[in-house]
Amino acid sequence: MLNIVLIHPEIPNNTGNIGRLCVGTGCHLHLVHPLGFEISDKQLKRSGLDYWPFLKCSQHKDYESWKKQVSALDRVFLFTSKGTKSFLVPKYQEGDWLVFGRESKGLEEKVLKDFNNHLLIPKTDHLRSYNIANAVSFAIGESLRQINDFKVH
């Protein structure tokens, strides 16, 4: 199982879509407060449809509370437009932490300083960044491909 971490997500539809993706791929979603919406938000539920009850989801009151949950800091991968290497380079393992920042600003400097694995999803010069739900899809797909843990039923 992979751990997908959203630090201060702002848009309920994105989080709902990511939650749905986590249900379908068996990933554990971690939401780090503050959030830009309420978990009961109608848009969140609409994006996650009726899959939300099947989602393994943990909420953390703040960044420091989440960080205390991580036992191996070298298994934390930050996805950022400031990344220094392609997300295709690491050798992912079960239990890894794939971390994404808020939609408007990305990951804060403090987070970037706390971890060494800064990854970039390659893109053309015409794009500043990918939508967070799309970025999470890239990350989960490549991680599970490497782990060979995703089985089609």
Taking only the tens place, the pLDDT of each residue in 92-139 is 999 999 999 999 999 999 999 999 999 999 988 898 888 999 999 999
pLDDT at residue 3 greater than cutoff 50: yes
Q: Give the whole-angstrom CA distance, residue 51 versus residue 12.
A: 15
Residues 94-116: b if buried by 16+ CB within 10 A, e if exposed:
eebbbbbbbbeebbeeebbebbe
Does some domain include residue 153? no
Phi, psi of 60 (to 5 degrees): -120, 135
How sure is the predictor about 39, in pLDDT bands with cuts at 50, 70 and 90?
confident
Phi, psi of 98 (to 5 degrees): -105, 115
Its domain, for residue 101, covers 3-147
Average pLDDT over residues 32-52: 73
Does some domain include residue 152? no
Does some domain include residue 42? yes
Q: Give the whole-angstrom CA distance, residue 49 versus residue 81.
A: 30
